[in-house]
Each structure stands twice: as structure tokens, then as C-alpha cells.
């Protein structure tokens, strides 16, 4: 069963992207425990943050914000950092993983078409690497699953070897 509890990420004050994603994940974990409690079923909570040029790139609040976020990533290295907490009856895992993408320079007409589509809404860093950004990826360092919101390679290693 998949269910989620809202958590106010805007209340987080963090000194770094890793600190931010850790605090957001802990907040979501605690909110889920408070709402659902914990019994014998596994609990998995994860959150992701995007950073480029030493800036935490949150979810864009408007189209101009989305444009600025995209242009920050254009032609630069973008890090996608995911934190997960997995708890079962027999174990608890806390992991922070990073995947880095080096992007080619975004075509400005392509950026405007993408912005007008509205697909940037609700997405950290205003895009997804499997969507708009895919054609601009020059190189990748890390697991693609981390960039999609959960490092399944780490999770599988623990769950399959328990």
C-alpha cells in the first residue's frame, strides 16, 4: 500500500542541500509515524533535492522562477540528492545518495516550449531527467534511480540480503 502524508518543506532551514534533504525526509518519516504508527509492515520514506551552482533548486513557484532554475542548470553540473529511510521489523536504513548530471546548454526556444507546457510544475529543479532534461545530458555519475527519487540499488542490496 502506498500512502503519503503532507510535510511543510518550506519550514526547513538548512545549510546545505544534503542537510535539507535529510531534514525533509526525517520530517516526512516522523509525520508518517505520527499518522499511521508502526507495526510489522515496512515503511519507506524518501525525498529529493536538486542543486546546481551551489544553489538549492526547489520546486518553482511560477514560470519565471522555473525559467531561472532551468537556466541555472543549463550547461552546468546538476546534482540530484535523494535521502531515504526504510524501516522494517528487522532493520532501519537511512541513506543519502547523489547522482550528478552534466548538462549541455539548453536551447532557449526549447526551454520556452517546456515552460508553456506546464510540465515543470511540482518538480524539484523544475524538470525531470527522464523528461525535458534527457536530451541535454552529456554525462552521468551515479545511479539514475537516485535522480528519479529513490536509490533502488541500495535498497535492494539490504532487502535481498537480510
Does the annotation count 47 as an active-site position? yes
Dihedral (Cα; 34, 89, 25, 16), 10-degree rounding: 140
Radius of gyration, alpha carbons of the chain: 17
Please pick, among 8, 10, 47, 107, the residue that the annotation labels catalytic: 47
- Residue 59: partners with Cβ closer than 8 Å, 6 or more residues away: 121, 122, 123, 124, 126
Task: Kindly state the DSSP code that residue 74 receives in the 8-state scheme.
Answer: T
Task: Kindly state the DSSP code that residue 63 receives in the 8-state scheme.
Answer: H
- For residues 111 and 51, is the Cβ–Cβ distance under 8 A? no
Q: Which of 64, 91, 79 is CA-nearest to residue 20?
A: 79
| Distance separating alpha carbons of residues 13 and 130, to the nearest angstrom | 29
Q: Active-site residues: which are they?
A: 47
Amino acid at each position: 500500500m502506498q500512502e503519503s502524508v503532507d510535510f511543510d518543506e518550506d519550514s526547513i532551514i538548512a545549510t546545505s542541500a544534503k542537510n535539507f534533504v535529510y531534514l525533509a525526509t526525517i520530517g516526512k518519516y516522523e509525520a508518517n509515524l505520527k499518522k499511521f504508527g508502526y507495526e510489522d509492515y515496512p515503511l519507506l520514506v524518501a525525498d529529493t533535492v536538486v542543486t546546481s551552482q551551489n544553489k538549492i533548486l526547489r520546486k518553482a513557484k511560477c514560470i519565471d522562477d522555473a525559467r531561472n532554475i532551468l537556466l541555472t542548470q543549463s550547461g552546468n553540473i546538476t546534482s540530484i540528492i535523494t535521502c531515504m529511510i526504510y524501516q522494517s521489523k528487522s532493520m532501519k536504513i537511512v541513506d543519502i545518495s547523489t547522482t550528478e548530471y552534466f548538462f549541455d546548454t539548453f536551447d532557449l526556444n526549447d526551454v520556452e516550449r517546456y515552460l508553456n507546457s506546464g510540465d515543470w510544475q511540482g518538480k524539484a529543479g523544475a524538470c525531470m531527467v527522464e523528461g525535458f532534461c534527457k536530451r541535454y545530458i552529456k554525462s552521468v555519475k551515479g545511479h539514475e534511480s537516485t535522480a528519479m527519487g529513490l536509490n533502488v540499488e541500495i535498497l535492494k542490496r539490504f532487502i535481498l540480503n537480510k
